[in-house]
């Protein structure tokens, strides 16, 4: 099964969307600048590529990844601006779509550097299950999130709506051959071209409009872009992309450089689950990213949205086990943004020190996962505290409750 064309073109699409954003900003700050030298010319035909030798045909083949089943990739992007903190972005990993299954296996790691600080994380798909990763540590994507996506892909459902409707081969002009070289032992043809910013915006605008968004007009972007150059290296025999360089300048020292490399093309890749799998969800900035991914998947599959913390929390199992062992359980259902909710987190720490009950805390979105333990209480607001006694009987306390009152309520429970 060949990997879908947009799987790797998405990297290029993301880069060029970033270029568009910077171009708009540059246009706003350089409104009195002279127009860029680039002018729009008729875009190449988007019809089926014919078997014609030459740099144009080589360039078109670079964007046809239908014969790529597996490989490794490494994409690096840097944003520069004078007197501003530089931003560097890298995404690298491996993929293998040769095995049976609608969702390919892949292991992707990303790193974003801003000045002297960096954020890193990754994602692993084994087809039937997936993980957020940081180093050797992983957090499994809940089955309630991943399985609907896998099922939809297997049926050829909504996954068919995912491919990017963009055509990078129509964005260029002045295509030239730069001769042949060798990359990782493979003979490649080097082709250079100039990117037409108007053609980029016109093409991307159609894809963005399909998702309810808008992009600025092509003239605005064209005025901001001072130069935009593209270089690709394509296998001489298999006509598969091996490297892509993008250089876009906006004048006054502002610009974007991008470098995408493909290697080990159609060679078997070893993709495995992370060595250490933890319960729950990652925290911090990476946790926010993971929540965004979960929300995106739920949007594709039509699954009701909930936070990753709520979906992956091990607390419902811990509570059920404690009830079976005839232990008291206290559960705080909270909203991170609520002031009373934050205060109740501190209260629960004090109750934990003063009682022998099992103290748990979860987002309110996790209520349904507790099933029969809390289903008759009608938890609908935050903060809410549920106290379950040794017999399994539960009571609900809504709103802020001070430490002494809550401790007494736990003591009074059977």
pLDDT, tens digit (0-9, with 9 covering 90-100), for 256-284: 899 999 999 999 999 999 999 998 899 88
DSSP 53-118: -SHHHHHHHHT--TT--EEEEEEEEEEE-TTS--EEEEEEEEEE--SSSSSPEEEEEEEEEETTEE
Q: E strand or H helix at 414, and its extent?
A: none
Which of the pair, 102 or 129, is modelled with greater confidence?
129
What pLDDT score was predicted for residue 216?
67
What pLDDT score was predicted for residue 336?
82
131 within 8 A of 140, measured Cβ to Cβ: yes
Out of 220-234, 251-265, 271-285, 372-386, pick the least confident.
Answer: 220-234
Q: E strand or H helix at 51, and its extent?
A: none
pLDDT, tens digit (0-9, with 9 covering 90-100), for 301-339: 888 878 888 999 999 999 999 999 999 999 999 998 889
CA distances from 317 to 141, 193, 280, 313, 323 (A): 17, 58, 12, 9, 10
Torsion of CA 186, 14, 193, 44, to 10 degrees: 110
What domains does the chain contain, in order, with CATH numbers? 5-263 (2.50.20.20), 313-412 (3.40.30.10)
Left (φ > 0), alpha (ψ -120 to 50) or beta: where does 39 sit?
Answer: beta
User: 285: how many CB neighbours lie within 10 A of its CB?
Assistant: 12
Look up residue 158 and give its DSSP letter: G
Please state, for a pLDDT cut of 70, what percent of the chain lies above it: 80
């Amino acid at each position: 099964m060949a990997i879908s064309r947009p799987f790797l073109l998405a990297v290029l699409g993301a880069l060029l969307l970033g270029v568009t954003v910077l171009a708009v900003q540059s246009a706003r700050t350089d409104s009195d600048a002279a127009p860029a030298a680039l002018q729009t010319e008729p875009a190449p035909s988007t019809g089926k590529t014919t078997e014609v030798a030459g740099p144009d045909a080589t360039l078109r083949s670079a964007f046809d990844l239908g014969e790529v089943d597996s490989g490794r990739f490494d994409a690096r992007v840097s944003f520069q601006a004078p007197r501003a903190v530089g931003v560097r972005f890298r995404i690298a990993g491996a993929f293998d779509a040769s095995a049976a299954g609608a969702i390919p296996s892949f292991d992707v790691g990303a790193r974003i550097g801003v000045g002297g600080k960096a954020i890193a994380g990754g994602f692993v798909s084994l087809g039937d299950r997936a993980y957020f990763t940081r180093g050797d540590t992983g957090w499994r994507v809940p089955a309630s999130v991943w399985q609907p996506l896998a099922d939809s892909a297997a049926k050829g459902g909504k996954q068919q709506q995912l491919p990017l409707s963009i055509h990078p081969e129509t964005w260029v002009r002045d295509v030239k051959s730069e001769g042949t070289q060798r990359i990782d032992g493979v003979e490649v043809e080097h082709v250079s071209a100039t990117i037409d910013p108007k053609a980029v915006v016109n093409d991307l605008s159609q894809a963005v409009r399909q998702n309810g968004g808008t992009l600025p007009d092509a003239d605005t972007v064209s005025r901001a872009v001072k130069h935009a150059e593209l270089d690709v290296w394509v296998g001489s025999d298999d006509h598969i992309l091996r490297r892509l360089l993008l250089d876009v300048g906006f004048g006054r020292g502002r610009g974007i450089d991008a470098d995408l490399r493909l290697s080990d093309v159609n060679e078997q890749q070893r993709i495995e689950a992370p060595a250490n799998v933890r319960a729950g969800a990652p925290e911090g900035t990476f946790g926010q990213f993971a929540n965004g991914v979960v929300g995106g998947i739920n949007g594709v599959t039509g699954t009701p949205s909930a936070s990753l913390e709520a979906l992956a929390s091990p607390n419902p199992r811990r509570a059920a086990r404690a009830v079976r062992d005839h232990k008291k359980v206290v559960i705080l259902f909270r909203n991170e943004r609520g002031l009373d909710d934050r205060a109740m987190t501190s209260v629960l720490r004090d109750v934990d020190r003063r009682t022998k009950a099992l103290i748990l805390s979860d987002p309110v979105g996790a209520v349904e996962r507790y099933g029969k333990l809390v289903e008759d209480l009608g938890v609908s607001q935050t903060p809410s505290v549920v106290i379950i006694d040794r017999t399994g009987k539960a009571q609900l306390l809504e709103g802020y409750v001070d430490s002494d009152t809550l401790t007494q309520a736990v003591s009074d429970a059977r």
